[in-house]
Structure 1
Amino acid sequence: MSALLKQLKKRRITLGLKQKDMILRVGMSRQQYNRLETKGNPRLDTLELIAKGLNSELMLIPQEKLNAVREILENEKDFLAEQSSANKESNTFSDDPWKGLLEDDEQ
């Protein structure tokens, strides 16, 4: 399987989508989408359609910039993981508007 097809499948799974969800998003038959994801050789317009269905963008990245782009994406992933962890630890008013309302503050 080509690297691009692996990326498409990984993105679909990351978004929590099943193949049948993609069928509805991109307007192709289940057999067509399954074939494309497993061993396909899609046309450019088909790739653009699938990228749109995955809330993604197709782009060419020059080889000399590839490591910089990967580093940016990895840093963003780390940042988002830290934010998610911090959000889970903090109890904000919107998480529990009743918390502390009836408790004594003088404990």
Structure 2
Amino acid sequence: MATLAVLEPDALRRALADSDTKALTSVPGIGKRVAERLCVELRDKVDRPAPETATGAVGAGGIREQVAEALVGLGFTAGPAEKAVIAVLADDPDADASTALRRSLAMLGKAS
């Protein structure tokens, strides 16, 4: 999860496909050795990232899906997770995935 908080999914795929250990070591808890191991073990298991669009941005629907999936992966149920993400993106439609994830986690933490 820390990896997705620092790198967007396409950036992670690109880093693994290109063996970009520098990008991977920017994630807290991942050192040079672990980054190299991730590249070797996962290079062939991840799809190449799609070419960037003219804007280079993921649509709000894509961010909503990514953040909701991440929250479900953390153990939250799908309904409240989706509602939290929708509320966060309604307040800040330009939020990136990591910002939306942090704010959604804060919102879900207050609700429990």
**TM-score of the alignment, normalized to the shorter chain, above 0.5:** no
Task: Give 1 or 2 for the bigger CA radius of gyration.
Answer: 1
The normalised TM-score by structure 1 is 0.28
Query: TM-score normalised to the size of structure 2?
Result: 0.27
Instruction: Give the structure, 1 or 2, with the largest relative contact order (CA under 8 Å, sep 6 or more).
Output: 2
